[in-house]
Amino acid sequence: MKRLIVGVLLASAVASAQPVAVPDLVKLIENQPNDMDRSVWKEKRRDAAKKLGQSKDKKAVPELIKLAESETFDIIGEYAIEGLGNLGDQSAVPTLQKIAADESREKSQRDLAKKSLAKLGASAATPVTPVTPVKPPDKPPEKPTTGLETAPETTATTTTAPIDSGSGSHLLDTGTKPPPVADLPALPELPDDTLAAYDRVTFAGGTASFAYDTGRKRMDGAADLAGLWQHRIEREGMAWGADAGAHLVTGLINPEGRAQTRGAQLSVDADGEARFYSGAVYGVGKAAAALQVDYVSDVDATNAMADFKSTTSQADLDVAIGGGYGRVLDVGAAIRVRRLARTLDAARALGKPIDAATSKKLQLTWWSLRGERSTYQALVATVAILREAGILLGEPDAGLSYEILNVLRDTQLFVRPSGFDVQLTFGEGYLRRPDGLVAAEFENGRVEQLLVNAGYGTQVDDDKLELAGTAFARYRLFADDMAPVPWGAGATAHMTRFTYGDHGDPLGMFDLTGTVLVSSDDRMTTDKGLRIEGQLGFTMLFNTASGLRLAGSVAEDGGTLFIGANLTATYGLLDAVFAR
Amino acid sequence: MKSWLGPSLAALCCACGAGDDTATGAHARCAEGGAINDCPDAVETAQDACWRLVDCGAIAVNSGDMDDNFDWGKCVDRIEQSNDVAQQLIVSCIAASSCDVLRTPNSPDNADPNQMACFHLGGR
């Protein structure tokens, strides 16, 4: 038995005496092997740091100092601090003193630093003055060097966080306190239980032209202007939203002679919805109103009898009540936060996961800055918030700054639905239609109807693939005996693949859409309708609501086949979203 | 109402097949029932505008044997034969209109474009 114990002790002594390959361990700590998963590597480098601290090899000191200074949130930093005490090298004293005095550090790290300093026989207090100064130095005393410093210490207290354009080594220089977050815009106030919200303002100048030429002696002018405001907030117990829009089309065509056409069309509409939830089930009330005024004067070139002049107006007022299940949220802003975390993680600059409070602060900051034409303020504020929260390790270098900027400018995060929602409502409306222009068999006056609406959306594959769909059905109720009872139903499903470059540049998105529509007007002259349509497209977005789209489509409707392709440009501005 | 506006190029071809003398019903979600049934209006081209007329039950997809009737194909032809300003005005007008404004008393199987204000807005 004694022999066995002695044997075991000898074996363990031999094992502990075996030299640890410090260079190999340092290499493992600094470089992730290509064939190793990131989470596995993180665990391996922690083990490696622990072994360095136990190695009794002073060649490990520089690497441990580096880890102790830079790894402020991972336990690997604590292994390094502890290891520096074990190795007994006095060159670690200044670093350990700095950590012991740094109140931005975790208490456990400061305590470990004090223990290690005690092992080295040094005080935790940082020496303030030289022990035997002969004369005041001409310049501030240089701090002790280890040969590993990569950047001068900064004490940034400016209102803007400096974006270092230097090398990536600055990523690891976290010995300084993060700069305070100052000059942030006033954040919009959202209730604590807010799940998602958006606020969008879109102005569109579709066309605006004016021309006169002496060749034809003709004057032409046209304008098409539209504006839309949308606001919605989703809370745990309730949700409400409102939209309001206006559209003006006006034109003048005035050739030589009697002929002249002028006209204007103004349409204004608004709608709102309120939901009250009990779990996933909700009751809903909706209202919508619309007004349209048309004026056209079309004077014939020769025949006054053929002149056409018309001024019409129509108005709608609808309300609906009902119930439903679930909800679909726009989670684009939440995905932007996730992309930010992935970007930092890939650059080894993510100190800890982005928590809910920081996520909310980031999103509301972006919301406040949505009117800025430049992304500069958003970038500065984002870096400052992440630094203050201890999420971003060090100041971002040029490469990381560019990638963060790409995340902030990512236009492919505009309207990303997530969730499932289905609702059934009963609608009561009053429609005022122009006399004489619309046949009696069309809806006019009171209209009751049953409405079904459904929506679905999910974001998968690191938010690069979207699967979504909508469906509707309408059926008129309580129509007069001779009046038709129209109905219609439809569903659209789409799949969208978002593509990115190596550094997070949004390249565009491919989408595949399928649509089925069935309907009946319930009139003698019409038959049931069926349309099946498919579309494949590629969209490149320039900002949150502007882009270029190329699409091809195939449709079958009423026995007629249509094959088409089109290229479309879109303009928009000012939107802000939030999602928890 | 959406912000989809702007310059566009389009090619829509190969309309084939045969309908009968009966037009199909109005497909669009907003074709009946008023403003509570909101429709997205991504209308930028002559083809889009004429599809909106079909979806609203204002015109037929294909008039079949009734060659003189104003259907989808004749709608596209009429808009595209107009000059640029007139095209813009007609398309914009159809995009901004509600379905009920776009219909005429004989819609959809025998619609009369001369009773549609949007076509007059484009001149003659």
Which pLDDT does position A184 carry in this prediction?
72
Instruction: Give me the amino acid identity at A277.
Output: Y
B22, B32, B41, B62: best to mutate for the A interface, most A CBs within 10 A: B32
- Phi and psi angles of residue A431, each rounded to the nearest 5 degrees, phi first: -110, 125
Which pLDDT does position A271 carry in this prediction?
96
Residues 6+ apart with CB under 8 A from B77: none
Closest-CA distance, A304 to chain B, in angstroms, reads 14
Inform me whether the pLDDT recorded for B4 exceeds 60. Answer: no
Which pLDDT does position A152 carry in this prediction?
30
- Phi and psi angles of residue A292, each rounded to the nearest 5 degrees, phi first: -135, 130
When CB atoms are compared, the residue of B1, B23, B109 closest to A247 is B1
Which pLDDT does position A126 carry in this prediction?
56
Looking at per-residue confidence, does B41 or A146 come out higher? B41
Burial readout A53-73 (b: 16 or more C-beta within 10 A, e: otherwise)? bbbeeeebbbbbbbbbbbbbb
Q: Match 């309207």 to its residue by tokens.
A: A415
Which pLDDT does position A386 carry in this prediction?
94
pTM above threshold 0.95:
no
**Burial grade of A191 (CB within 10 A; 0-12, 13-18, 19 or more):** exposed
Strand partners, A541: A547
Q: How far is CA A36 from the centre of its chain?
A: 30
Both tokens of A381, joined, read 């504020």
Which pLDDT does position A576 carry in this prediction?
59
Closest-CA distance, A361 to chain B, in angstroms, reads 29
List % helix, strand, coil for chain B (3-state, nearest 5): 35, 10, 55
pLDDT digits (tens, 9 = 90+) for A56-74: 888 888 888 888 888 876 7
Rounded Cα gap, residues A478 and A464, in angstroms: 47
Nearest to A273 by CA among A227, A330, A323, A309: A323
Cβ pair A439:B98 closer than 8 A: no
Q: Could you tell me whether strands B8-17 and A529-543 are parallel, antiparallel, or unpaired per DSSP bridges?
A: unpaired
Ranges of chain A with pLDDT below 70 = 1-20, 73, 125-183, 205-206, 435-442, 542-545, 570-580
Rounded to whole angstroms, what are the CA distances from B115 to A264, A308, A310, A412, B87? Answer: 16, 9, 10, 43, 17
Nearest to A494 by CA among A522, A529, A530, A458: A458
Closest-CA distance, B25 to chain A, in angstroms, reads 5
Residues of chain B with C-beta less than 8 angstroms from the C-beta of A437: 104-105, 115
When CB atoms are compared, the residue of A271, A308, A519 closest to B25 is A519
- CB of A476 within 8 Å of any CB in chain B? yes
pLDDT digits (tens, 9 = 90+) for A171-198: 333 444 444 555 677 888 888 899 999 9
> How would you classify residue A236: left for phi > 0, otherwise alpha for psi between -120 and 50, otherwise beta?
alpha
